[in-house]
Amino acid sequence: LQAGTPALMIYREGLAKGVEGANHLAWHVEVGNQGDVRQFVFVDAHTGKVIDKINGIHDDKSRRAFNSQNATAPGPNYPNTPFWVEGQGFPTGTVEADNMIAASGDFYDMFKKAFGRDSFDGKGATMDSIFNRGDSCPNASWNGRFISFCPGTTTDDVTAHEWGHAHTEYTSNLIYAWQPGALNEAYSDIWGETIDRINGRGGDTPDAARGNGTCSIATKVGGVPGTDNSVRWLMGEDSTAFSGAIRDLYNPSCYGHPGKVTDTRYRCTTADGGGVHSNSGVPNHAYALLVDGGTYNNQTISGIGLTKSAHIYNRAQSVYQGPASGFADHADALAQSCADLTGKGLNDLTTGLLSNEVISAQDCAEVNKAALAVELRTPPAQCNFVPLLAKSPPALCPTGTVAPLLSDSFDGGKAGGVRWQVSYQGSNPEFTPRNWGVVNKLPNGRPGYALFAADPNIGTCSAGGNEAGIVRIESPEFAISADAAAPKLTFDHWVATESKWDGGNLKISVNGGAWQLIAASDFVYNPYNTTLNTAAQGNDNPLAGQAAFSGADGGSVTGSWGRSIVNLSRFAKPNDKVKLRFEMSTDGCGGTVGWYVDDVKVYRCTP
């Protein structure tokens, strides 16, 4: 222990309690080890006796455990009758609860001591966990409020994995589909295995270094064939409900998962959210190689250890990645995080004390080699993914020239002389008011401004948090000229929504009449790509069952720009007065990005 410089002061006993007490001339001394011990000691200056000691470490850890009693989580006891709360005796004597509570503490401690983060939300949130759930077994999950476990799944790595999902929600908030979803899963595996490696609990032996094998060694590890006589980098190897490990971070292919993007095991289908539990093998593999080193795909990586790797990955996740980050974004985030941390002191993952490890330029070179080895920046060309919007539009006028009847590019951050009207309508009182807006910093580097309607990732789809509703933007009434026998509409747009649940379409009103849906058959190019799920399918979106632009580019949660062209002649004739409306509508929960619309033009083709 070390003592700071003493300070002489008047110390009154009982002051903190709000009661009368004696005054002392006292020395105030801070004593600690710069880690888990810090106390303020008050010593009587005349007698040398210790008057008081105050703890200087503020432990904000707050955990609760609940017994679901084999019912659907959260079960009958949540939230009013916890099985255990912070400060009660531990262990409880119930193995499932003890595993869950201890591993929750391991997760809290590592993030607090190593990275200075107070609970999964960074604000000291109570960590609620539920054991003995009876639904969807064997499994474990995070649902936005608590983590819950079927019997036999509360091991340290699985528990930390689920808290990893909570941490992701409050940092990068990676969308749970395709590559962002695979990264979401990988970060949970990464944090689960990191904690498994440092907490000294569970079945951690044998823990030999791993080899880059071809799964030819059939050594039984937790009842499941492994690749080496080692439990190192196996996920869920102690979970009896899984009969052993379910994933291998060091050799993902041994459990049927890809070790690199061009691996034949890389999933290209929409099943499992676009392969989130399998394609996670790619970023998992990069982390394991970076920590321990190895040779793979013509790259030889010298391992930089857990402490450096965890700090780099934590910064990448919490600073540089967003909801739609793919593998290439992940590689960029890791490289930038390594550069940021070069030469900086790193806290030890267990004690929180300043470690003797310092990231160097050579370490960053190893980060780059790990990214190359698993091909983080290589697109999965073998999947032949197709963009939502085609990219080869025909000329606006096959012959003649374009004569605008209404036109708006939205540049300058406002409507270009067109007085659009916005409105919204929520299906429930809790709907968060929002509208179309004119924005810049457009996706894919498109310059200028465009209209935007969000597809926000909010809501619970249940009473009190149901965000179902619609936002509209409506043009003023304009005239179809007498010589416009075949008026057309064109607009550029970018779409990324929750597929078949959220989306948008176009409506038209002629001569003050009712709003009519412009049908897919009215489009000359890039019509609606789908029909939204119906109310009978559980969709409470106000546009349920209608044709719409919905979803995203194939293999992605984002979109790309494309042009649509619409023939309005079925609705609008010469001398008619017309209004247009773009509608973007969402169900009660979940979302991705939204719908951008630019360069709207109603026109005729002159000879």
Contact (CB, 8 A) for 501 and 518: no
The position carrying tokens 């490696």 is 197
- The catalytic position among 277, 357, 430, 477 is 277
Q: Is 593 helix (H, G, I), strand (E, B) or coil?
A: coil
Joined tokens for residue 267: 């999933």
- The yes-or-no answer on residue 277 being catalytic is yes
CA distances (Å), origin 255, targets 164, 192, 214, 250, 374? 22, 18, 11, 11, 16
Report phi then psi at 262, rounded to 5.
-85, 5
CA gap 135, 150 in Å, rounded: 7
Give the end-to-end CA distance of the chain in Å, rounded to a whole number.
91
- The catalytic position among 96, 162, 193, 474 is 162
Identify the CA nearest to 555 among candidates 6, 53, 18, 181: 181
Joined tokens for residue 34: 């710069």
CA gap 115, 109 in Å, rounded: 10
Identify the CA nearest to 286 among candidates 198, 375, 353, 201: 375
- The yes-or-no answer on residue 162 being catalytic is yes
Q: Which residues of 386-424 are buried (b: 16+ CB within 10 A; e: fewer)?
A: ebbbeeebeebeeeeeeeebbebbbbeeebeeeebeeeb
- In one letter, which amino acid is 518? I
Annotated catalytic sites, by residue? 162, 277
